[in-house]
Structure 1
Amino acid sequence: MSEVYDVVIIGGGPGGYNCAIRAGQLGLKTACIESRKTLGGTCLNVGCIPSKALLHTSELYEAAAKDFEGMGIKVDGLSYDLPKMMEGKAEAVKGLTEGVAFLLKKNKVDHIRGKGRIAGKGKVEVDGPDGKQTLETKNIVIATGSEVTPLPGVEIDEERIVSSTGALELSAVPKKLVLIGAGVIGLELGSVWRRLGAEVTVVEYLDRILPGIDGEIAKQSQRIFKKQGFSFELARKVTGIDKTDSGLTIATEAADGGKEKSFEADVAIVCIGRRPYTDGLGLETVGIEPDKRGFIANDHFQTSAEGVWVVGDCTHGPMLAHKAEDEGTACAERIAGKAGHVNYDAIPGVVYTHPEIASVGATEEQLKEQGRKYKTGKFSFMANSRARANHETDGMVKLLADAETDELLGAHMIGKGVGEMIAELCLALEFRAASEDIARTSHPHPTMTEAIRQAAMGVEGWTMQA
């Protein structure tokens, strides 16, 4: 222990590496510990980035196969090259992970390979390729992220029964695919393989898809996904999976314990959620006790132990890379004595299906539960000029505003490219804009973003497009 760090961060994912970069920028002597060979965590290596690469290529393929002819574009002999798609995915991951390593080096952050464990106040033990070492530090940041939640009684082999990680590495398109879980991860991964020819059945324990998303948007999403070829088995519990020579038999029963039903598949993707990765971190050495689900509590990123901080998926809040990034940056600023802050009411969520789904702020169900009086403005992309010209008319924009003050409370959208459009509504929430502020802001014509303005106009009933 020849030197003392100002900050040692356990975990090199979005929360960890952003915390490390910001700490380095602020002049703090910083080390970032990562057990993987590459930085970037789940998001860059086996999550957000590789899945979006496959979503993009598979969407282009399906558009060429199904939509081009109707627009006057003829494509003969269309086919796909799965190994080439996987190669493109790998190239995107490689470039970005190398970029993170460069940024750490640029900001004088020590990147230490190995598994980090707290070994008492101000001490972090690292077990890496070069053996064990102990780092001494004034501050420890836990940024270990999350891992796949297992399904009781089902063993994931990453070949036929796969997690989200294995679903990104399939060597062939399955004829029949069963998704266990109708959340964001399942629907995105299911979209990739459905577009390439798989017959996809989604089994979900709840009586709806996309829990947490505004109910009206979720229902419209399900109708669109059904048209695309998804089959949904809702309110159904998976009780076991049997492997046979010909494939898999997935046994289920009604969520209330009723009628049993089985499904045949070549591949099953288990995507019932994620859980914080907090086991084996030595939390007991500094008196930290996670809750029953494994989450570490925090007060502005400070844990119950002095000098120990936490950000990202291993603490409470949405398990989103950008939430972790914001927390990592703010945490570094607080360690440096600055006023780091995250507005959790303005953190967006996006589902990268086709069409995309995006939301920020309160849902209609949440406002009803709070007893808050609100107004609603809606606008369908069917009436949007750019959407009509582009043959992308599925979906809508829905805005929720306070009934008295007109302050924007929530925004929920489904449509082509809404994952990019949602940032406007995040900014509106951040500055506590009224729906009228949005309605009186000029939007370029013709664009999909005009639907946001028209929905804002609709809050007071003065929508101007048919």
Structure 2
Amino acid sequence: MSQFDVVIIGGGPGGYNAAIRAGQLGLKAAIVEMRDTLGGTCLNVGCMPSKALLHASELYEAANREFEHLGIEVAPRLNLKQMMAQKDESVTALTKGVDFLMKKNKVERFLGKGRLAGPGRVEVEGGDGKVVTLEAANIVLATGSEPSGLPGVKVDGDRIVDSTGALSLGEVPKTLVVIGAGIIGLELGSVWRRLGAEVTVIEYLDRICPGMDAELAKAFQRTLAKQGVNFRLGAKVTGAKAGKSKVDLAVEPAAGGAAETLSADRVLLAIGRRPYTAGLGLETVGLVPDARGFLETDHFRTAAAGVWAVGDVIHGPMLAHKAEEDAVACIELIAGKAGHVDYNLVPSVVYTTPEVAWVGRNEEQLKAEGRAYKAGKFPFAANSRAKINHETDGLVKVLADAATDEILGVHILGPQAGELIGEYCVAMAFRAASEDIARVCHPHPTRSEAGRQAAMGVEGWTMQA
């Protein structure tokens, strides 16, 4: 029986960053992962491969639609096999990088399915059925999440796929139906739309991207529709029948009404994710997840002594970078330090074109809280760099307290929004005022000036629109 200071179950962003931090702080650490490669969903079948396809498909569409106007004459042809191969190469390089970091920080790796086996014990069952038992004063559950299912829609990995399957289709479908207008569905739907598919998104709610500022969500939907994405909002899928070449979907109004049949070559089920907490032996330490599968924690401590949890298995944004922050704070608490994460400062990003990014409160939340606020807005159509680059869709919105001017939330629809939001994450961490951003010199011409102009707009002195 091997003994450790900390054993981490799960090798995703939460797990491997916990292991790295443990090694840095001198803790004897082990990481348990059932995949052959570390990195979890994010590196293997999520964030990273999807970004590889988003990038490649953006360039393909640019070559087809924009290059000629820029004075570049080419005749692009899609080589989907090579596009998938370069995606896989990137994923392999990243997972090997995580392996290197485990060795660098003296973390022992165990390949197999890990489960709790009573207080201070973890059993690891390998692919050959052999079981290894590990002992540790602290056990961190970082098992992440898996795609949520939908009654009546069975994922078969061929005609009906989840996010994993949508990353590896062998051909571009003529028609693709995406069930769910959240981040994953819109990102992957946009990939296949750029490559030639006719994409229809079906969403139960009467809007896309719940949690996104409503004004930006409407503008975002208009932009995607202009690009060719079809939307069926306020609709629910009650069943799916997959045939050899088509899928027939039963669709009806969410508010009730007559059903209709919608056919497509492929269907992507992307209605969200659920915590991966089943089969972890939680009962052996007296832990019971809630109805949705989440574990309750207090500063990452579960109700079981010595058992901690981070990332998608606990409440908060189900995002890779949130899991990383959880992991660092959790290990620092185990080591006797003062770990902490402010979930209000965890940004969200949709990596479509244009991107959408936000941090902090949106207008609907501030109104519900009764918080008096001011809003400053600036369109990318008035930003010189965006105009030169033909990236004029979208805007920046800054929300600040009406009395103190403290920045409460920032929402960006536009080019490189995921990069631009970082400035405001830092500003909000220091409880900056909108005037602080408005008075800081930004380089010209850059997209970042749109963020500054929006900050100026909070007090009504936007200068360039």
TM-score range, shorter chain: over 0.9
| 1:432 equivalent in structure 2 | 431
Paired letter, 1:118: L
Residue 155 of structure 1, CA deviation: 1.1
User: 2-side partners of 1:332 and 1:246: how far apart?
Assistant: 50
Paired letter, 2:92: K
| Secondary structure of the corresponding residue to residue 7 of structure 2 | strand
Residue 244 of structure 1, CA deviation: 3.0
Task: Find out whether 1:10 has 2:15 as its counterpart.
Answer: no
| Secondary structure of the corresponding residue to residue 69 of structure 2 | helix
Paired letter, 1:105: K
| Secondary structure of the corresponding residue to residue 288 of structure 1 | coil
User: 2-side partners of 1:272 and 1:408: how far apart?
Assistant: 32
- Any idea what the Cα deviations from partners look like across 1:273-293, whole Å, max 9, x if unmatched? 000000111111111111000
| 2:258 equivalent in structure 1 | 259
| 1:90 equivalent in structure 2 | 88
Residue 433 of structure 1, CA deviation: 0.3
Residue 197 of structure 1, CA deviation: 0.4
| 1:146 equivalent in structure 2 | 145
Task: Find out whether 1:279 has 2:275 as its counterpart.
Answer: no
| 1:413 equivalent in structure 2 | 412
- Any idea what the Cα deviations from partners look like across 1:18-48, whole Å, max 9, x if unmatched? 0001001100000000000000000000000
Paired letter, 1:257: G
CA contact (8 A) 2:193 2:199 kept: yes
1:106 to 104, 107, 114: 104
- Any idea what the Cα deviations from partners look like across 1:140-173, whole Å, max 9, x if unmatched? 0000000010111211111110000000010000
User: 1-side partners of 2:279 and 2:127: how far apart?
Assistant: 18
User: 1-side partners of 2:61 and 2:303: how far apart?
Assistant: 51
Residue 245 of structure 1, CA deviation: 4.0
Q: Which runs of 5+ in 1 are unaligned?
A: none
User: 1-side partners of 2:416 and 2:122: how far apart?
Assistant: 44
Task: Find out whether 1:123 has 2:121 as its counterpart.
Answer: yes
Aligned identity (percent) is: 66
Residue 264 of structure 1, CA deviation: 1.1
Residue 296 of structure 1, CA deviation: 0.3
| Secondary structure of the corresponding residue to residue 69 of structure 1 | coil
| 2:34 equivalent in structure 1 | 35
User: 2-side partners of 1:421 and 1:259: how far apart?
Assistant: 45
| 1:175 equivalent in structure 2 | 174
User: 2-side partners of 1:31 and 1:39: how far apart?
Assistant: 13
| Secondary structure of the corresponding residue to residue 70 of structure 1 | coil
| 1:23 equivalent in structure 2 | 22
| 1:189 equivalent in structure 2 | 188
- Any idea what the Cα deviations from partners look like across 1:81-103, whole Å, max 9, x if unmatched? 00000000001000000000110
Paired letter, 2:100: F
Task: Find out whether 1:366 has 2:365 as its counterpart.
Answer: yes
Paired letter, 1:434: A
| 1:295 equivalent in structure 2 | 294
What TM-score does the superposition give when structure 2 sets the normalisation length?
A: 0.99
User: 2-side partners of 1:245 and 1:85: how far apart?
Assistant: 26
| Count of matched residue pairs | 464
Residue 12 of structure 1, CA deviation: 0.3
| 1:402 equivalent in structure 2 | 401
Residue 246 of structure 1, CA deviation: 3.8
User: 2-side partners of 1:113 and 1:265: how far apart?
Assistant: 39
| Secondary structure of the corresponding residue to residue 433 of structure 1 | coil
User: 2-side partners of 1:187 and 1:392: how far apart?
Assistant: 19
User: 1-side partners of 2:463 and 2:54: how far apart?
Assistant: 35
- Any idea what the Cα deviations from partners look like across 1:99-157, whole Å, max 9, x if unmatched? 00110111000010000000000000110135101101100000000001011121111
| 1:342 equivalent in structure 2 | 341
Residue 248 of structure 1, CA deviation: 1.1
User: 2-side partners of 1:424 and 1:250: how far apart?
Assistant: 44
Query: Which stretches of structure 1, 4 residues or longer, exceed 6 Å deviation after superposition?
Result: none
User: 2-side partners of 1:154 and 1:204: how far apart?
Assistant: 15
Residue 375 of structure 1, CA deviation: 0.3
| 1:459 equivalent in structure 2 | 458
CA contact (8 A) 2:8 2:141 kept: yes
- Any idea what the Cα deviations from partners look like across 1:194-231, whole Å, max 9, x if unmatched? 00100000000000001110000000000000000000
| 1:79 equivalent in structure 2 | 77
- Any idea what the Cα deviations from partners look like across 1:33-86, whole Å, max 9, x if unmatched? 0000000000000000000000000000001101111222212x2211000000
Paired letter, 1:129: G
| 1:69 equivalent in structure 2 | 68
Paired letter, 2:140: V
CA contact (8 A) 2:160 2:242 kept: no
Residue 243 of structure 1, CA deviation: 2.2
Residue 17 of structure 1, CA deviation: 0.3
User: 2-side partners of 1:59 and 1:261: how far apart?
Assistant: 34
Paired letter, 1:80: L
- Any idea what the Cα deviations from partners look like across 1:212-267, whole Å, max 9, x if unmatched? 10000000000000000000000000011122344111111100121322211000
| 2:216 equivalent in structure 1 | 217
User: 2-side partners of 1:265 and 1:454: how far apart?
Assistant: 44
CA contact (8 A) 2:311 2:320 kept: yes
| Secondary structure of the corresponding residue to residue 139 of structure 2 | strand
Paired letter, 1:59: E
Residue 326 of structure 1, CA deviation: 0.6
What TM-score does the superposition give when structure 1 sets the normalisation length?
A: 0.99
User: 2-side partners of 1:179 and 1:218: how far apart?
Assistant: 17
- Any idea what the Cα deviations from partners look like across 1:271-329, whole Å, max 9, x if unmatched? 00000000111111111111000000111101111110000001100110000001011
Paired letter, 2:112: G
| 1:442 equivalent in structure 2 | 441
| 1:244 equivalent in structure 2 | 243
Residue 4 of structure 1, CA deviation: 1.9
| Secondary structure of the corresponding residue to residue 71 of structure 1 | coil
User: 2-side partners of 1:226 and 1:64: how far apart?
Assistant: 20
| 1:203 equivalent in structure 2 | 202
User: 2-side partners of 1:242 and 1:15: how far apart?
Assistant: 37
